[in-house]
Amino acid sequence: LITLALESSCDETSVAVVRNGREVLSNIISSQVDLHKKFGGVVPEVASRKHIENISCVIDEALEEANITFKDVDMIGVTYGPGLVGALLVGLSTAKALAYSLNVPLVGVNHIEGHIYANFIEHKELKPPFICLIVSGGHTHLVHMKDYGVYEVLGKTRDDAAGEAFDKVARALGLGYPGGPLIDNLSKKGNKEAINFPRTYLEDKSLDFSFSGLKSAVLNYLNNNRQKGIEISVEDVAASFQQAVIDVLVDKTITAAKRCSVKKIVLAGGVAANSGLRELLTARCREEGFELKYPSLRLCTDNAAMIGCAAYYDYIKGYRADMYLNAVPNLKLGDK
């Protein structure tokens, strides 16, 4: 079964060809990051227009690299939320047109679910149940995935997402966009114990997250030192900030696994690319006897292969969308 998958929820136009859910024949990612850099973040209207310009070429490239034609496509998978509404609509309208004209089924995919499914492409033998920490640009979720498509959300952020915190702190440090990879690199040259930024654990037993206090603490630290004319080590701030994020993410993930008596832990989303997070979680999982899986760097951030994989499992479950499928900018995990 060949799936042609489309992803356009934010600033990546991506199209993939996936065979039987887990075999990626092509995964073309056209990033608009250079276009948005000068604004310090994604500009929704600019993103939508660029998706329109790009999508046909990216589809052609995906088919060509997979060495197939439209006639070989058995189903269309597409992200329909969450994300920027204008951006989503480009992929969604294209997907509907393709499904209608090729007369094949259309399956709408939840983008956050897609991030989790990146792991099924990377690890062919991986199966639920497991605990998944999803850390992306707009979401921070701790989830017990009990079966394909079956989720219990154990905790989530009450304010900023982890990736958002990275991006905002990077902006305050004058590093540019997107901030995550830049802070990750600088951290390697800094002292993570130089500044004791706050770790927010919230109420006893809570598996929710909060990163806005940490972000404010970094901003205050920068302002105070700049006012006093004290020189700031960007590397130390990056390393200390990153460590404060990671400590909480790792502690709560381990707690969740213990609480649910689950032996497997899975990382997903753009921040899963963070080298510090991968290292600390790997070390803690080894100590505590948990098996840890995460996707390769290219599959952590937005891509259509993960959407193709999720679409396949939805299809197997009998899920089909019709031509009334609309973009849902604030779609929740587990909602269909």
Residue ranges at the known binding site for Fe cation: 111, 115, 302
Nearest CA-CA partner of 329 in 75, 161, 138:
138
* Residues in binding contact with Fe ion, number by CB under 5 A: 2
d(CA 126, CA 265): 11
Nearer to Fe ion, 51 or 192 (CB): 51
Q: Write out the binding residues.
A: 111, 115, 134-138, 167, 180, 184, 274, 302
By the rule CB under 5 A, 79 interacts with Fe ion = no
Binding residues for ligand ATP restricted to 101-160, rule: CB under 6 A? 111, 115, 136-139
Distance of CA 16 to the CA centre of its chain: 17
Binding mask 118-157 for Fe ion (x = CB under 5 A): ------------------x---------------------
By the rule CB under 6 A, 264 interacts with ligand ATP = no
**Least separation, in Å, of the C-beta of 110 and Fe ion?**
11
Q: Which residues contact 6 (CB under 8 A, 6 or more apart)?
A: 14, 15, 55, 59, 76, 77, 78, 79, 91, 94, 95, 304, 307
By the rule CB under 6 A, 301 interacts with ligand ATP = yes
**Least separation, in Å, of the C-beta of 12 and Mg ion?**
5
Given CA atoms 53, 57, 62, 65 in this order, what sign does their dihedral have?
Answer: negative
Nearer to ligand ATP, 108 or 269 (CB): 269
Nearer to ligand ATP, 73 or 314 (CB): 314
By the rule CB under 5 A, 302 interacts with Fe ion = yes
> Among residues 77, 91, 155, 178, which is the contact residue for ligand ATP, using CB under 6 A?
178
- 3-state helix, strand, coil split of the chain in percent (to 5) is 45, 20, 35
Count each helix (H run) and each strand (E run) in the chain, helices first. 11, 10
